[in-house]
Amino acid sequence: MTDPVQIDLVVNGQPRSAAAEPRRLLADFLRDDLGLTGTHVGCEHGVCGACTVLVDGEPVRSCLMFAVQARGAEVRTIEGLAEGGRLNPVQEALWNSHSFQCGFCTPGFVMQITALLEENPTPGEAEIREALSGNICRCTGYQSIVEGVLRAAGHDVPTAAH
């Protein structure tokens, strides 16, 4: 039973399947078996949040879940957000706030932000900071990210200087 098992799931609306050992982490499965390298692997022990994806609508650390546990699940990753090659409104708001710099933490943040706004479309700043507390960014100091989420949530935020 340590042999590869067939894993069928839905990723970004598409049925996908691949075989993987039970020890295969969902993050590695997405990246290496399905070729979806948008999900980033940072700390690999659930601290940094870079690998956050949505499983059945809930944000989870994909480094703390085995791919075999996602059989039959609906997974959403950063690749599923843009609509027809165009940034979705959340991505657009983050873009306009220059929320990110190096981009390593970005996919995890954006998926966590997506989960937040789907549950609560109009969070205040404190709720935003609480929701993002599990994601680490080493570039920005977070202000620009919080501002981007405020913008995505429809708050009046001045456009960042270009």
- The amino acid sitting at 90 is V
Residue 97 engages another protein in binding (rule: CB under 8 A): no
Nearest Cα to Cα of residue 7 among 87, 79, 48, 66:
66
How deeply is 13 buried, as exposed, middle or buried, from its count of CB atoms within 10 A (0-12, 13-18, 19+)? exposed
Binding of residue 69 to another protein (CB under 8 A): yes
The answer to whether 106 touches 100, Cβ cutoff 8 Å, is yes
- Find the angle CA(155)-CA(133)-CA(144) to the nearest 5 degrees: 45
d(CA 94, CA 29): 28
What are the Cα distances from residue 41, in Å, to 3, 27, 44, 107, 146? 24, 7, 6, 10, 22
Nearer to another protein, 5 or 87 (CB): 5
At closest approach, how far in Å is the CB of 85 from another protein?
A: 28
20 to 39, contacts with another protein by CB under 8 A?
21-23, 25, 28
Footprint (CB under 8 A) of another protein, residues 119-148: 130-131, 133-135
Figure out which of the listed residues 45, 85, 161, 162 binds another protein, where binding follows CB under 8 A: 45
Min CB(60)–another protein separation in Å: 5
Closer residue to another protein in complex, CB, 1/161: 1
Contact indicator for 63, 57 with CB cutoff of 8 Å: no
Quick one: 64 or 139, whose CB is closer to another protein?
64
Choosing from 46, 96, 101, 155, the residue that interacts with another protein (CB under 8 A) is 46
Rounded to whole angstroms, how far apart are CA atoms 108 and 36?
14
Comparison of 46 and 89: residue with beta carbon closer to another protein: 46
Binding site for another protein (CB under 8 A): 1-2, 5, 21-23, 25, 28, 44-46, 49, 52, 58-61, 63-66, 68-69, 112, 115-116, 130-131, 133-135
